[in-house]
Amino acid sequence: MTAKAVLVTGAQQGIGAAAARALAAAGHDVAVNWLDDRAAAEAVAADVRAAGRRAVLVQGSVGTATECAAIVQAALDGLGRIDVLVNNAGIFPRVPFLEMTEAEWDRVLDVNLKGSAFCAQAAARHMVAAGRRGVILNLSSSAVRGVPLGVHYAATKAGVIGLTRSMALALAPHGIRVNAVAPGLTDTAQPRHGNTEDELATMAKALPLGRMGRPEEIAGLLVWLASDAAEWITGQVYHMNGGGYMA
């Protein structure tokens, strides 16, 4: 597999951390973006280096276009280029729809949707200027089916699908591929915020495959989509959810 330079946003934990480790194991250098847990990010970076690859720590939120540009520039400064962007950073604060405030709506859209768009724009501008073919991978979610305590979250993850398809069309002339992965119930901190272990077990047993997904499984698909083996794939959404949603 051709070695690439990869920026993973929200890589201090969960799917982002698993993606960073799996990409390093596949032979890629990784810029590890983190928000508020440097120790966790350092542990991810240490695993990247243990795999024999370069790791760069990039602190920052993806909530504004300015912050997105700064994160991408820091990754460029550390790795020298960006071949792959994994837009993983996201938040899911639970709130009943009738109680949701404009500020709560704006915060989720800023991080989940605006952040994905403007990180992608900043990375793609570099790829185009360098004459480099590249890959952008966005994280959507099976929440596009609807979640009662996450109207804002579901809206962003549905938006990510539209973003993915539209960016794929816009960037195809430059040789940049754009795809999305939409995980279902995955064993990370996110579903544990708002669900008890018993509730999670019940939800997992209800899936056709009878268990939660593992972050490493999501990461495996991301690694493949980043590789040259997927070079004729763009504008697609891959659902990974144990059979809970068959698109």
Check 34, 118, 153, 238 and give the catalytic one: 153
Name the pLDDT band for 247 (thresholds 50, 70, 90). Answer: confident
Q: What pLDDT score does 145 carry?
A: 94
Tell me whether residue 233 is exposed, middle or buried, using C-beta atoms within 10 angstroms of its C-beta: 0 to 12, 13 to 18, 19 or more. middle
Question: Which range has the worst mean pLDDT, 46-60, 89-103, 166-180, 189-203?
Answer: 189-203
Q: Is residue 67 very low, low, confident or very high in pLDDT (cuts 50, 70, 90)?
A: very high
CATH (residue range 4-246):
3.40.50.720
Q: How large a percentage of the chain has pLDDT more than 70? A: 100
pLDDT at 1: 61
Q: What is the 3-state secondary structure (H, E, C) of the chain?
A: CCCCEEEECCCCCHHHHHHHHHHHHCCCEEEEEECCCHHHHHHHHHHHHHCCCCEEEEECCCCCHHHHHHHHHHHHHHHCCCCEEEECCCCCCCCCHHHCCHHHHHHHHHHHHHHHHHHHHHHHHHHHHCCCCEEEEEECCHHHHCCCCCHHHHHHHHHHHHHHHHHHHHHHHHCEEEEEEEECCECCHHHHCCCCHHHHHHHHHHCCCCCCECHHHHHHHHHHHHCHHHCCCCCCEEEECCCCCCC
Measure the CA–CA gap between 214 and 188, rounded to whole angstroms: 8
What is the C-alpha to C-alpha distance for residues 29 and 5, in angstroms, rounded to an integer? 5
Mean pLDDT over 222-232 rounds to: 97
Mean predicted confidence (pLDDT) in 2-30: 97
Residue 2 confidence (pLDDT): 82
245 is catalytic: no
The average pLDDT across 221-239 equals 98
CA 211 – CA 228 distance, rounded (Å): 31
Question: Average pLDDT over the chain, rounded to whole?
Answer: 96
Is the pLDDT at 195 greater than 90? The verdict is no
Label residue 150 by pLDDT band (50, 70, 90).
very high
Q: Which pLDDT belongs to residue 190?
A: 83
pLDDT in tens, 207-218: 999 999 999 999
Residue 196: HSE in the Cβ half-sphere, 13 Å Cα cutoff: 3
Collect all residues with Cβ–Cβ distance below 8 Å to 91 and sequence separation of at least 6: 107, 108, 111, 112, 153
